[in-house]
Amino acid sequence: MAEEKKLKISNTLLPTESMKVIAESIGIAQLSEETCQSLTEEVSYRIKELAQDALKYMHHGKRKKLTTVDIDCALKLKNVEPLYGFHAQEFIPFRYASGGGRELHFYEEKEVDLSDIINTPLPRVPLDVCLKAHWLSIEGVQPAIPENPPPAPKEQQKVESTEPLKVIKPGQEEEGQAKGKGQGAAATDGKGKDKKKSLLDGGVMKLKPRTTHELSVEQQLYYKEITEACVGSCEAKRAEALQSIATDPGLYQMLPRFSTFISEGVRVNVVQNNLALLIYLMRMVKALMDNPTLYLEKYLHELIPAVVTCIVSRQLCLRPDVDNHWALRDFAARLMAQICKNFSTTTNNIQSRITKTFTKSWLDDKTPWTTRYGCIAGLAELGHDVIKTLIIQRLQIEGERIRTVLEGPVVSNIDKIGADHVQSLLLKHCAPVVAKIRSPPDNQESYKTDYGYLGPMLCTHVVKARAQAAMQAQQVNRTTLTITQPRPTLTISQSPQTSRAPSIIKVPSSITLPMQTLVSARPSTPTQPSPPATKFIMMSSASGSSSTQQPRPTLTISQSPQSSQPSTSPSIFKVPSSITLPMQTLLTRPSTPTQSSPSPTNYIVMSSSSGSSSTQQVITLRTTPCGTGSTSPVTTTVASIQPIVKLVSTSQTAPSSTVTGSTQKYIVVSLPSASESKAQSSNNSLQQHSPK
């Protein structure tokens, strides 16, 4: 393997074109082919030599990554003046460009306005080196503390629980290979060996490590403290305990105990109708799910029944008419949805099994209202598709049932409350979906024919939902956006036009723009003067991978949706930022509504420093699905970076209804530091909801 690698290395020569380009760049026009040839050979050799020397510095610097500083040192070793200006550890300032049949990597030299630099507040001083001591091992045993890696990494837990056979597989393959070799080398001897080996193979397959987990005294104490705090009366302690469960890396060993604790606890407290304890236990489940070092798959058989119980149980509290057990059902339903999302696979089929369970008990006529509520909540949390296919189909029947309770002869107060709750639940979840599947003229009558008793109410809800979506669309769509690269602020201001023009992207000096979704029609002037900053890459979500580079950075986007279609599809913008400038943006949405996304509007802004080694931050901004008008209709949930998001309205806002064009809004998003890793943030970003 190494040989192949080396082969490649030794063959590599710089292309002669490079020599020509470089020669041109320093003013030598005609370079003969031969000269180029011998130059590339020489230069390639020298570069290889340098790289080999630089490697020494890397080894002695006790690093795994070669840095520009190593190259500088290697140059110094050869008595060559080092290349100055390449001192960034990560960021290599080369840009790629193609055009005119040539592909180039060039060093981008920006024009920098000095006053900008002077006026920019100084970046934070990096923290100084400090020394921190912890126990890596105590008499041969590694303590499970946050400073140490988790005893079993999550990946391994996952592999162990989902594919127990895979753990042994590499060994088997080796065995297989050995077998092959054995046959090749000594055919006569081979058969006897093979038999033994296959026996061995079988043995390995059956062997499952049977280890009893013995908790150390400290772990037992911890378990006791945590469980007591979780179900105890002190809220502060509970918060601390839950925090510990959600973050501590060493809980792997205790996981079986916790899951048993929860399932037993639910069993007992459901019987006793102890609502408070059930809530506490569900919060424990939530905390366990939140712990990034735990993989719960092995314990789902205990957790799911507990959670489902909390969703659909006939009675969860002592006074069903007064206590708000509905909240517990909602919370548990969200947990269930999260479990489905995280752990449902084609083998365990959790989601479909859960869906079936809910549907079955919902369909039963005798099901009490509490359980009915739980079933619907559980289904509704599973997503729009489930709502569309399962709930909306039954709206008519369900509406009838509600009507008999609410309008018919008084049966019992409890039933009435239950029916009331079911009604509002249905309306809450169905409205956004209906808004999406039906086209606007919302007519009470047609709703009534389609959805029966609930029709008229649903209609008003849908209208509200639409209005809210449209308002948010207005607010953002009618904007002019200015991105200034070196500044950690972004300004979005709404342009004064009220007309709904097709969207436009105006790019000062644009190269090819492969953004099909953005239809340019009419340029609008930026309302803010844009300083000469750099460029950015833009990605539209519809086309996915298209990206553009622009040498000049000013971007003005002004777009508005077709009035008929309140669009909900997200748009993604990538904006390059150098690492030291942590900041990004918020943009608008494209004009073509393509997908049905769960909540009314998504704004996804990705900022990244371009270049391969860059980090990316993803910020997700979601509008609240509720239609109630408020002055700040945008709540933000941001994955792990915690940006500061401000929504400033400078003039009076028109809250709930359709927007008059005169409002100006500045949304300022800034990130404190760019240190978060790309993977983490990008994974989380699309999944986070703001829990209400």
**Residues in the site for other proteins, rule: CB under 8 A?**
2-3, 6-7, 9-11, 41-42, 44-45, 48-49, 52, 56-57, 59-65, 67, 69, 73, 77, 79, 89, 126-140, 142, 147-149, 675, 677
**Nearer to other proteins (CB atom), residue 88 or residue 467:** 88
- DSSP structure string for 343-374: H--TTT-HHHHHHHHHHHHHH-TT--HHHHHH
From residue 446, alpha-carbon distances to 28, 430, 441, 612 in Å are 78, 16, 10, 55
- Residue carrying the six token digits 């037993």: 264
Shortest spacing between CB 43 and other proteins, in angstroms:
11
Shortest spacing between CB 177 and other proteins, in angstroms:
19
Buried b (16+ CB within 10 A) or exposed e, 103-131: eeeeeeeeeeeeeeeeeeeeeeeeeeeee
Residue 640 in contact with residue 673, Cβ under 8 Å?
Answer: no
Shortest spacing between CB 216 and other proteins, in angstroms:
15
Shortest spacing between CB 292 and other proteins, in angstroms:
13
- Find the length of the chain: 692
Strands 665-670 and 602-608: unpaired
Task: Return the amino acid letter for 498.
Answer: T
Shortest spacing between CB 68 and other proteins, in angstroms:
12
Shortest spacing between CB 127 and other proteins, in angstroms:
4
**Nearer to other proteins (CB atom), residue 41 or residue 103:** 41
H or E segment and range at residue 73? helix 68-77
Residue 556 in contact with residue 481, Cβ under 8 Å?
Answer: yes
H or E segment and range at residue 101? none
**Nearer to other proteins (CB atom), residue 149 or residue 202:** 149
- Two tokens at 674? 């760019």
Shortest spacing between CB 197 and other proteins, in angstroms:
20
389 DSSP assignment = I
Query: Which one, of 211, 218, 241, lies nearest residue 229 by Cα?
Result: 241
Residue 533 in contact with residue 554, Cβ under 8 Å?
Answer: yes
To 5 degrees, how large is the angle CA 671–CA 672–CA 674?
75
Shortest spacing between CB 289 and other proteins, in angstroms:
23
**Nearer to other proteins (CB atom), residue 11 or residue 212:** 11
Q: In angstroms, rounded to a whole number, what is the distance separating the alpha carbons of residues 174 and 31?
A: 56
Q: In angstroms, rounded to a whole number, what is the distance separating the alpha carbons of residues 89 and 579?
A: 11
**Nearer to other proteins (CB atom), residue 43 or residue 159:** 43
**Nearer to other proteins (CB atom), residue 113 or residue 147:** 147
- Residue carrying the six token digits 């002592």: 318
**Nearer to other proteins (CB atom), residue 26 or residue 129:** 129
Shortest spacing between CB 484 and other proteins, in angstroms:
28
**Nearer to other proteins (CB atom), residue 38 or residue 687:** 38
**Nearer to other proteins (CB atom), residue 63 or residue 105:** 63
Shortest spacing between CB 37 and other proteins, in angstroms:
11
- Residue carrying the six token digits 């949405």: 589
**Nearer to other proteins (CB atom), residue 3 or residue 365:** 3
- Two tokens at 172? 């088997």
Shortest spacing between CB 320 and other proteins, in angstroms:
49
Q: In angstroms, rounded to a whole number, what is the distance separating the alpha carbons of residues 437 and 428?
A: 15
- DSSP structure string for 173-231: HHHHHHHHHHHHH-HHHHHHHHHHHHHHHHHHHH----------HHHHHHHHHHHHHHH
**Nearer to other proteins (CB atom), residue 171 or residue 232:** 171
**Nearer to other proteins (CB atom), residue 61 or residue 655:** 61
Query: Which one, of 344, 307, 351, lies nearest residue 329 by Cα?
Result: 307
The burial class, CB within 10 Å (0-12 / 13-18 / 19+), for 510 is middle
Shortest spacing between CB 675 and other proteins, in angstroms:
8
